[in-house]
Amino acid sequence: MLIIAIGSFKSLEEMLKQIKSIHIDKTGGSGGIEQMNFNDAWQFPVVAGCTLCGLYFSMEYFGKDAVNYFLMAYIAAGGTTGIKAMMQAFFGNSFSAYDKNYLIDINVKLVGLELQVTLFDLFCFFISSI
């Protein structure tokens, strides 16, 4: 929850900077204020419905425990970037030596998958998993 709260405050701070630069300073912005359009609005219920149906059927097929482990790994992988950003914000470039060389470098152009993992990413994944 802390990662979500920090991300929300950072997002709000960026939005306020954009509003100030567009409406008060009249300098324009870096592309305007981000707004939800019609495509975003209709995709929310469709994606949510598909996600919940997929979750229900995966629990029926694989079992609740297997799905729980998958969800925990997914949340830990997503939290890795938040932990990495927090570590860099708190400690500066102290870990930059561990964030240079890729241990895993996968690029599948057919599906647009690019995965690059450093030693620092694995350390942040470990912290996020805990």
Do both 111 and 78 map to the same domain? Answer: yes
Please give the average per-residue pLDDT across 32-57, as a whole number. Answer: 83
21: tokens are: 């630069």
What domain range is 27 assigned to? 1-31
Rounded CA-CA distance 62/70 in Å is: 11
Decide if 4 is inside a domain: yes
How do residues 82-111 score in pLDDT, each as one tens digit? Answer: 899 888 888 888 888 888 889 988 888 888
- CA torsion 20-26-28-33 (nearest 10°) is 40
Rounded CA-CA distance 81/117 in Å is: 11
The CB density around residue 118, as the number of other CB atoms within 10 Å, is 18
Do both 78 and 118 map to the same domain? Answer: yes
Reduce the DSSP state of residue 102 to 3 states and report it. Answer: strand
Confidence of residue 32 (pLDDT cuts 50, 70, 90): low
Contact 82, 61 (CB under 8 A): no
Quote the pLDDT of residue 28. Answer: 64
Tally of domains in the chain = 2
Which has more pLDDT, 110 or 34?
Answer: 110
How do residues 2-20 score in pLDDT, each as one tens digit? Answer: 777 777 887 888 888 878 8
